[in-house]
């Protein structure tokens, strides 16, 4: 349980001012802020933890409030806030990036993150018209954005072609309305290209999948230009490390579906 009152007050103010915080969450946070003398494990802080717990257990708090709740409860699976300022830097002439959308970004990070040559994998939003979108706005399909991952990699150790090849193995390319259990336009599969070379590789890879005739339904993965990638809230970064048990359950269901899809297309 956090007991540093100065840090708590700073976090409370940041969450209250955060436009992504829901009104009812903000109301609870303001109550605590207005009663600083009760910021103790047995006072107002304990009540706040109890008020947030029902939705926290269902993963239905806004991301930054969830981060606060996990720190508040001392959850052992919590890792420090992701700080991409200390991401390893390499010679800029060898660093490139790829951006893919393939359903919930929680399941898209780990497969890329474990490959040689990967510098960082960031969950975020792209493809829409709104600046600095929040998770709730994207989930509400107000912004036109999709959930995606940005992969920074060392081109001397891996290639864009190899990353695209892996991407096709992670998705159902015949589903334009989402991916597996993730339904909605924000989960549609898209390859975003940053330059003509990436567009040519992505286009050729899509044609190769079509020509393989592995799928009985049309291949609907879009290939679109990349304009701006907005990193998602901290709660969504490195989810497979922060919530390993939940991630393993999701990955198991995801893998089972893709195996079933491959089997069905062979019949």
pLDDT tens sequence across 189-237: 999 999 999 999 999 999 999 999 988 899 999 999 999 999 998 888 9
Q: Which of 23, 53, 73 is the last residue of a domain?
A: 73
On whether both 21 and 118 belong to a single domain, the answer is no
Q: Is 37 a residue whose pLDDT tops 70?
A: no
113, 58: one domain: no
How high is the mean pLDDT of the chain?
Answer: 85
User: What domain count does the chain have?
Assistant: 2
Please indicate, yes or no, whether residues 140 and 226 belong to a single structural domain of this protein: yes
Q: Range of 37's domain?
A: 5-73
- One domain, residues 137 and 157: yes
Q: Is 174 exposed, middle or buried (0-12, 13-18, 19+ CB in 10 A)?
A: middle
113 and 24 share one domain = no
Based on the domain organization, do 262 and 219 belong to the same domain? yes
| Beta-bridge mates of residue 192 | 99, 224
- Residues noted as catalytic: 104
- CA gap 57, 61 in Å, rounded: 9
Q: Residue 11 has what pLDDT?
A: 86
Model confidence at 153, pLDDT cuts 50, 70, 90, reads very high
Q: Residue 36: its pLDDT value, please?
A: 65
Q: Which residues pair with 179 in a beta bridge?
A: 182
Same domain? 137 vs 50: no
Pairing label, strands 118-126, 230-231: antiparallel
Side-chain-side CA neighbours of 149 within 13 Å: the count stands at: 28
């Amino acid at each position: 349980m956090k007991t540093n009152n100065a840090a708590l007050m700073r976090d409370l103010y940041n969450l209250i001012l955060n436009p992504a915080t829901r009104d009812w969450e903000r109301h609870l946070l303001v109550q605590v802020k207005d009663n600083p003398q009760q910021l103790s494990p047995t006072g107002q802080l304990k009540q706040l933890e109890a008020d947030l717990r029902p939705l926290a257990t269902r993963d239905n708090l806004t991301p930054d409030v969830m981060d606060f709740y996990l720190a508040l409860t001392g959850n052992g699976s919590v890792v420090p806030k992701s700080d991409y300022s200390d991401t390893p830097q390499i010679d800029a002439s060898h660093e490139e990036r790829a951006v893919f959308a393939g359903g919930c970004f929680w399941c898209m990070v780990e497969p890329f993150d474990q490959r040689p040559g990967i510098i960082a994998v960031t969950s975020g939003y792209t493809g829409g018209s709104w600046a600095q979108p929040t998770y709730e706005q994207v989930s509400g399909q107000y912004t036109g954005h999709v959930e995606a991952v940005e992969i920074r990699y060392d081109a001397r150790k891996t290639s864009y072609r190899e990353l695209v090849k892996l991407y096709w193995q992670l998705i159902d390319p015949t589903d334009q309305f989402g991916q597996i259990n993730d339904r909605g336009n924000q989960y549609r599969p898209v390859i975003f290209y940053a330059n003509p070379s990436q567009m040519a590789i992505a286009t050729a890879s899509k044609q190769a999948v079509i020509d393989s005739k592995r799928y009985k339904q049309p291949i609907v993965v879009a290939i679109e230009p990349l304009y701006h990638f907005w990193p998602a809230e901290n709660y969504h970064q490195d989810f497979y490390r922060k919530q390993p048990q939940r991630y393993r359950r999701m990955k198991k269901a995801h893998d089972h579906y893709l195996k079933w899809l491959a089997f069905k297309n062979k019949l």
